[in-house]
Structure formats: C-alpha cells, structure tokens
Structure 1
Amino acid sequence: MNGKRDDNTSPIPRSQGAQDARDPRGVIVVGAGPTGLLLAGDLAAVGVPVTLVEKRQHRISNLSRAFVAHARTLEQLDARGIADALEAEGRPLDRIALFGRLSVRLDTLPSRFNHLLVIPQYEVEKVLERRAVEAGVRFRYETEVTAVEQGGSAGGAGDAGGVAVDVRTADGGTDRLTAAYVVGTDGHRSAVREAVGLPFPGKSVIRSVVLADVRLDEQPDEALTANAVGDAFAFIAPFGDGYHRVIGWHRGRDVPDSEPLDLDEVREITRLALGRDYGMRDARWMSRFHCDERQAPAYRVGRVFLAGDAAHVHTPAGGQGMNTGLQDAANLGWKLAAVLGGHADPALLDSYEAERHPVGRAVLRSSGGIVRLAMAKSPWALALRAALTTFVNHVPPARTRAIGQITGIGYRYPAPRGAHRLVGTRVPDVALSTGRLYESLRGGRFVLIGPRGADRPRALGTLGDRLAVATWTSDRRTTVLVRPDGYVAWAAEGADDAAVGEALAEWLGAAALGAAA
C-alpha cells in the first residue's frame, strides 16, 4: 500500500449519542460517501441539525473506484471554498483520447476549471468529511437502517409531518431516529430506497470489468487514454502519485465478480486493447465488478429523498458517477435549508426531482453510449463508431454538446413558461464588482447581480447571510438572481425595484420583499 494515501485515522468518534438524532427540525442523511458528506455539510453549515448514518466503520480507504472530478463539480466545490485544496492534490488533464480517433480538448471550456481533475474519491471524501465535522454534523457509524416510517406512523417524529428511521447498531442494539426529512445517499443497494418501496429498474450492461491501480515502467503517450480492439477494452489514467488506474474488459471473459483476479489478466486485456501493457507492476489494489444501468422512477417519496447511487447507477465511462451524485446534493441541500428555515414553501422540494431526474437519465444515456461504442465489434458497429468520432472531432456544436454532458456544464434546468431565456442555465464564474461569483455564493447565498450604477435599496443588507448583492463589471443591463447552486433563478432586462423585490420575495421569502421596498 502507498502509505501517504492510506489515512484511516478518525477525527470523530465512531458513533455519537443517539439522543442527538431526534430533532423534528433536522435532516437524517443515510450514507457517508461523497454525496452524503456534501449534503450533510451544506445543511449543517447553515444551521440545520444533521445526523449522518453510515453502516460501515469509520474508515476512509485509499481504494476507490471514482477518480475524476469534472468542471461542474469543481465549480460547486469552489462555491464551498474547497476546490483549490483538491486541485492541489489532484492532477489536471486538459485532453481525453478515445478509440484512437477522438481527441477531446477541455482547455476551451467556459469554466475556471477548464480541465478534468484526476483525484481519487478518498481524497474528495477526506475534504468533505473535514468540512462536515467542522460544520457540526453528527455522525452515527456502524449503524444500519432497518425501516423508514413517515407521517402518522412515525411515532416519535413529533407530528404528522415527521420521519422516523429505525436502525440497528454494531452491538445488536436498536434505536429510532427522527427528523423532518430523510435523504438516502446509501448507494446502489440503498436501504432507504427499499424501505420506501421504490423499485430500481434497469439491467447489467457488462460483467467482469477488471480494475487495478498499478505502477508502469512506460508512460502512455496520452495522459488519459482509452481504446477497444476486437473483444478487449482498456482505459488508463494517472493518479499523480506514481500509480495509474487501469480499467479493462474482455468480452470472452464473463465470470462472476467473486472470481479471483490476478495482474496477468489485467496485463493481457491491456495488451489486446492498447497494444502493450506498459510494464505494469506492483498492484496496490485489484477488483472485479459489473456495471449496471439503473434509475429510480422517483427521487422523492413524501419526506424521503434519494441522491447519488441510491437514485441512479451507470457505467464508469466518462467518470460521471461521483460527479452526478455531488451535483444532486448541491441541488437538494439549499432547497431543504430554505424550507426548514421558513424561507420557502415546501413545494420547492418538488423541483429537486424535476431538475435532477432528467440529468440522471441523460447520464445513463451518455455513459452507456460510450460503453456501447467501446463494445463495438461487427463491421457496421465499428464503422458507426468511426463515423461518430469523426463527426464529434470536426463539428464544433457536436463537440461542445458532448463535452458539456461529460463535464456537467452543459445541463440546464426547466424554466417556467414565459421566463427569461437565462432562467435555469448555469452561470459561469463571472467577475463581479465584489469579486468572483462563486466566492459570493459561499455560505449558501443567493447572488443578485445588477447593472453598474443601479441603486439597490440598502435594506437588502439585512439579507446578507442569505443574499449577496453585486454588479456586473461590464456594461450588461440584465438583472440576474443566481441560486446557491449556481443556476439562474430569475432574470429580467431593465428590471425596476418592484420587479426585483417580487423575485426576492419568491426565492428568499416574504422578508425579502420588505427589504427591497
């Protein structure tokens, strides 16, 4: 093992007191992976009582399947002040090579993070856990969910609107935790999803995918490369610590996940797909797994929500798994905080599924498409792959769309009929009179951006903990209200104070209307 990365020390007790997890104003998050840690940290940072339940022991392993952070995820982490720390740990790559024909450049992305960052999931978890601890999240490790009950059946939930979660602890004891809302971020075998009766339709796409973290005697020509030849597919990416992640698959080797794996098998698949094995040696981790494509039909049942792998799973192609889950959390967290803080109608929570379910479906399609191209074998399928890669290489709109889907920056959320064309779009990290936009978003704030010279009421300062006010550094005349997750909530051309006040009242609560008067 690599000692530098094997950091299993715990900054928190294994389990905190059961009495801390009975708050009818709070949220129970189940699952301490990246999605759950980000969500719990977001809520606790704005004063929402949060209990994070995890059935595993507290241990951040240096072995993880996810290893890429894309531009949109880095933007979301920048809005929390933690992207730069991860950038210092990871390795930025500005180009992806696929199938020997397609070269995708990322350095033209309209983002401060115009690259992908190769960084293991455990490094992301360490930063997110530290943030959650500092924000006051209460952790319950070695605690397994056995039942979830809502409303009148919740018993100790306090009122008909509560949720009760029954759990079993490592010593065989039981407990009942209560809160206003529960979020299942507990992976593809989600106990929360099963407890609320949601199916997980889909299928296994490929079996017996092999994974190895190894040292290489020879460096590949491309920093990150993938190719498929005949029945074999392989992918190699550097960690930046002397090890490379190798993922491979061979059509003729369809065996159960439990089948032993040795490095010779990984070498053979890599040689078939990439022409050589680059002298791979010293594997610190090897694993065999299968890839499913599944999505829950709903992300919400009453006061229970799903996010991350509990809501959707797909192939690792494109490295979108962890990223999609983190963006789920960024979407849901500020909405729960607004409702629990009395600043928004509970109907706002319906927009989580409306916005994120289509994105999850699109990720299944895009990652599945990459895998199917990699699996191409017949002459017509290989010809189609060649035609598609040529098309993406040489047609800028197609290339922009493909990059936008993989990196996450190309998605926009549905807007109401008649809304300004910017509503629902992602806002890049534009320069403002007060500094960068994503610095202004920190603390879960909305940001109101208006034209230079606009005289906004000073009383808006009373909303300073939830609203930042800035002006464009350009001559732009559009007034824009940016949500805490970096998407446009409302926009107008030449808006007067009354229109601004109505928008603030809609998104920040009635008190905002008085401040804008």
Structure 2
Amino acid sequence: MNGTSGTARVIVVGSGPTGLLLAGDLADAGIPVTVLEKRPHGISNLSRAFVLHARALEQLDARPSPTTTLDGRAARAPVSRSVADELEAVGRPITRLDLFDGLTLDLGTLPSRFDHVLVLPQYEVEKVLERRAVAAGVDFRHESEVTGLTQDADGVTVRIEGAGSLRAAYVVGADGMRSAVREAVGMPFPGRSAIRSVVLADVLLAEQPETVLTAGAVGDAFAFLAPFGDGYHRVICWHRGRDVPDHEPVGLDEIKEITRLALGRDYGMHDPRWMSRFHSDERQVPHYRVGRVFLAGDAAHVHTPAGGQGMNTGLQDAANLSWKLAAVLHGHAAPALLDTYQSERHPVGRTVLRSSGAIVRLAMAKGWQLQVRAALATALSHLAPARRRAIGQVTGIGYRYPAPRGAHPLTGVRVPDLALAGGGRLYEALRGGRFVLVTPGPYDVDPARADRLAAAHWRSGRRTTLLVRPDGYAAWAAENAGPADLEKALAAHVG
C-alpha cells in the first residue's frame, strides 16, 4: 500500500464491536470498506463489556447472521437467522437487574422480543460481527496504525505508519478512548476521571456465585463478577481508599480483599490468567462529525461501566450512521442527512454519560447520600412511570430521535418488532438493510426503489402507514395516508 489509493469509499478505524458492525453494514450495502486496526489480528479476551441490552439485540436481530463453510470461509446464512440469534445461543439471559436497597428492575415486562439482558463477553460479539464483515467483503488491514489524516472537499487521506496513505470518501473513527482519528481532527475530549484504580482480573472460582451477574458495595468497597463461559470469571473491583497509578502492580490478594469487603466472600478465587488496573473516565466530544470524518463508540464518548451501556451505545452509534453513509454514497440522499448523526446520537451519549455516572455514585453512596439512595429506590419501586423510564434508558429502548414540528407522534420513535401479515416480523423484514413501509393493506414497491425499500402490511386492521428506517426508527407516519402523501414521504426519505 504505497502512495495514495482511492479504492476505499469508507475507511473505518478500529475493529471493536462498533467498527465491525459499521463496516459490515456498509459492505452489505455495497459500499467498499477498509478497516484499519493497529493490533495484530485476533480476538482479545481483555475487553470489559459483558452485556447486551434489548435495543442492541434488536439492532442485531435486524442483521442476517454469517455462517462458515466447510473450507473455513465465511458465507451468508439463511436470512431467517440473525446476528442476535447467534449470540443468544452462546449468552446467558437474565430477566432482572438487582441494584441497591432492594431495588429490582424486572426486564420481563420489556415491550421487546428481548425481554432480558444477555450476558456474554465482548469477544463473543466481535467473533460474530467479524465473520459477518468478512462474509460481506470488508477489507481488513491489521497492524495498520493511523498517524494522521487530511481532508478536502472530495475525500479524506489517511496516513498509516510505514504503509503510505489511503484515500476514502469518508472516515469513521471507532478506535476507542485513545482515538488517533479524534486526535487527528483536533477534537477535544472534555470530561474527567470518575473512578481511579479500578482493578480487573480473570480468575477461577472454587465456589460458584448464586446469580449470573454478582455485584455489591459495602462501605468503601465495590465488586462485580461475570462469567466468561469457559470456567473463568471477570472480576471488577474498586476501593475508595486505594488511589494508585494505573501502572501499579496488581496482586490476587488485593482483589480477594476488596471482593470480600464488598460481597462478603471471595468465592475461592485462584489461578488468575490476567490482572490489570485502570481508571474510568466520563468524557464526550462536542461534535461527532468533523467534515468527512465521524467519531463513534468510545472514540466519541466514554463513561463508567455501571449499567453495562458502553458497548451497547457504540453499536447503536454504528447502526445510526451506517445506513446514512450508504444512502449518501449511493446518491439516494443529500449529504445533509449525515448531520443528523450528531443531532440524534450526541444527546443519547450525553444521557448515558449521566445515567451511568448516577448509578455508580448511588452504588458507592455513604453518609447522608444513603438516605437519598433509599428514597430513590422506594420511588422507583412504587412509581411505574419512573421505573419504565429507568428501564428504557438502561436497555436503550426508551430513546427517541427528534422529529419535525407537526410530525406524527410516532416519528422518531423506536419501532417495536411488529407482527406483519403472513406471519413475519418487522425486524426480519429489516434484514435486507432497507426501509420498510408498513401499510394497512398490500403495497407494490416501485421497482426503481426495490433496492432500498421493502413493503409489508399490518397483521391487524390498523389504518396507520409507517415508514421504518433501516435502524428501526420511524422516519414518517400518517393516518389514512393517500397516494400523494405517501409518494411525498418516500421521495423525501427513500429517494
């Protein structure tokens, strides 16, 4: 790769879950994609994410699963099986979240096919998303470190350590908290360290916890346990009084002591295969877009691990941006559509930052703060609207995007998995990466739009016409829509 190449239409920097989903979406849409990753090829077990929430699972349900042929190559699986189906087969679902002061969030009431949290390590998500991206034809270039970039009116040139440069129409930085792309465009990352000297370890346990996810806080100590599925458990623990640099060595005795303080016992931890120390920041860039460069996932926002929302928020960033890039590059939408990535996703990132921070501060409350926490727990336990809002934020299903003044109330709303005539489901219909028009009766799609629009109709006798975006949000809706209204909406949103 010497000199400058113009073959890549989109360059995605970073091959974590956010970058993999985005790259796979674009390649599925027929957009040439190159993924640049500074690490050697391989799936790491050092990731911190351990749960998929309902909204992320819904997004993954809208994407067909890859499979593997006998010769080891990736191929497309039947459209009846999704990425979410693949992950559900290896993860462990839990239907309730136990927080503090007896507060329990019952996920069994979620208006979603995925009425649970799916517990599985991040690397399992990466395995499936990488196979999907390979099957779609994504060009992976590992050990390719980005050292800078320049952009002009026609595209972006990315410089790569020891390998010249690569040219693309757009670049997406999904390269984590220490994003080289963010640094290259000069975007600040304001915020602060929320928790210092958090300790991580992968250990075997002599005694198995009673629950899949185990968490507790007593006094100045907090600990969390989650299974890998291979016999090892990830331990995340923290002690308020031990504030040391990240490079300070970690010993098993320290981890066991903090866990005993927080959970009452250490479950007979032994044989650690990995231990480390880190600090948790709360930061968000002011702008997710700088010209032809976008930031997504941890490159755009980082927060405490409380609530398990980090990987989930990044996946939803990718789902929001990918179809918009594809629409613009195929000439079906004006470049101004890309500005909505900022207006839709930045407020969500800000809310996640605040809610995850509130959870960890409440978990570690002391003194008079304990009374506030107890009062909040009581309110959430007895006030259904407040409880639904809390569940909606944590699981992601409660977010909606801005809608134009005077728009139908459903515009911008996350659309649930509707039952369609003929026995199908909405998220099965979304697996083609197209808009889905849901109408009161049969509708024939104009062949000129068939590559970006599918049609279905309600199983029930509803009179609402609903245009669902590829990411599962309502682009437009109307009651008793006439042909002229429908054509106007399709021209505006589908092209």
Stretch of structure 1 that moved more, 221-230 or 428-437: 221-230
1:280 & 1:117 partners in 2: Cα distance? 24
Letter in 2 for 1:112: R
1:233-260 Cα distance to aligned partner (Å, 9 max, x none): 1122333333322211101111111111
Secondary structure of 1:271's aligned partner: helix
Aligned position for 1:498: 484
The alpha-carbon distance between structure 1 residues 299 and 230, as it changes in their structure 2 partners (threshold 3 A), is same
Return 5+ residue gaps in structure 1 as ranges.
1-16, 152-159, 510-517
* From 478, 485, 494, the counterpart of 2:471: 485
Aligned position for 2:160: 167
Aligned position for 1:279: 268
1:75 & 1:431 partners in 2: Cα distance? 14
1:51-84 Cα distance to aligned partner (Å, 9 max, x none): 1111111111223211111111111111002110
Aligned position for 2:14: 31
1:298 has 2:287 as partner: yes
1:50 has 2:43 as partner: no
1:333 & 1:296 partners in 2: Cα distance? 20
1:388 & 1:287 partners in 2: Cα distance? 34
1:15-51 Cα distance to aligned partner (Å, 9 max, x none): xx56895237x10111111101110110011110111
- Percentage identity across aligned positions? 72
Aligned position for 2:407: 419
Deviation at 1:266, TM superposition (A): 1.2
1:336-379 Cα distance to aligned partner (Å, 9 max, x none): 0000000001100000010000000000001000111122122x
1:244 has 2:233 as partner: yes
Q: How does 1:168-187 map to 2 (within 5 A)?
A: 168=161, 173-187=162-176
Letter in 1 for 2:88: E
Letter in 1 for 2:39: R
Deviation at 1:270, TM superposition (A): 1.1
2:438 & 2:299 partners in 1: Cα distance? 36
1:398 has 2:398 as partner: no
1:22 has 2:6 as partner: yes
2:121/2:228 contact within 8 Å kept: yes
Letter in 2 for 1:120: P
1:277-298 Cα distance to aligned partner (Å, 9 max, x none): 1222232332211000000000
Matched positions, count: 476
Q: How does 1:17-96 map to 2 (within 5 A)?
A: 22-23=6-7, 26-80=9-63, 81-96=82-97
2:435/2:470 contact within 8 Å kept: yes
1:20 & 1:444 partners in 2: Cα distance? 31
Secondary structure of 1:344's aligned partner: coil
Secondary structure of 2:154's aligned partner: coil
Secondary structure of 2:108's aligned partner: coil
Deviation at 1:193, TM superposition (A): 0.7
1:282-341 Cα distance to aligned partner (Å, 9 max, x none): 323322110000000000011100000000000110111111001000000000000000
Stretch of structure 1 that moved more, 231-240 or 83-92: 231-240
Return 5+ residue gaps in structure 2 as ranges.
64-81
1:98/1:225 contact within 8 Å kept: no
Q: How does 1:91-240 map to 2 (within 5 A)?
A: 91-151=92-152, 160-168=153-161, 173-240=162-229
1:256 & 1:390 partners in 2: Cα distance? 38
Q: How does 1:318-397 map to 2 (within 5 A)?
A: 318-378=307-367, 380-397=368-385
Letter in 2 for 1:498: A
Secondary structure of 2:407's aligned partner: coil
* From 450, 463, 478, the counterpart of 2:449: 463
1:299/1:353 contact within 8 Å kept: yes
2:211 & 2:378 partners in 1: Cα distance? 19
1:97/1:222 contact within 8 Å kept: no
TM-score (normalizing by structure 1): 0.89
1:20/1:138 contact within 8 Å kept: no
Secondary structure of 1:223's aligned partner: coil
Secondary structure of 2:164's aligned partner: strand
Letter in 1 for 2:159: D
Aligned position for 1:513: none
Letter in 2 for 1:22: G
TM-score (normalizing by structure 2): 0.93
* From 265, 286, 296, the counterpart of 1:307: 296
1:410 & 1:480 partners in 2: Cα distance? 19
2:184 & 2:416 partners in 1: Cα distance? 39
Deviation at 1:221, TM superposition (A): 3.4
1:21/1:51 contact within 8 Å kept: no
The alpha-carbon distance between structure 1 residues 100 and 276, as it changes in their structure 2 partners (threshold 3 A), is farther
1:485-513 Cα distance to aligned partner (Å, 9 max, x none): 0000000000011111111111111xxxx
1:221 & 1:97 partners in 2: Cα distance? 13
2:4 & 2:40 partners in 1: Cα distance? 19
Stretch of structure 1 that moved more, 347-356 or 386-395: 386-395
1:246 & 1:314 partners in 2: Cα distance? 18
1:490 & 1:97 partners in 2: Cα distance? 38
RMSD: 1.5
Letter in 2 for 1:411: Y
Letter in 2 for 1:259: E
2:3/2:164 contact within 8 Å kept: no
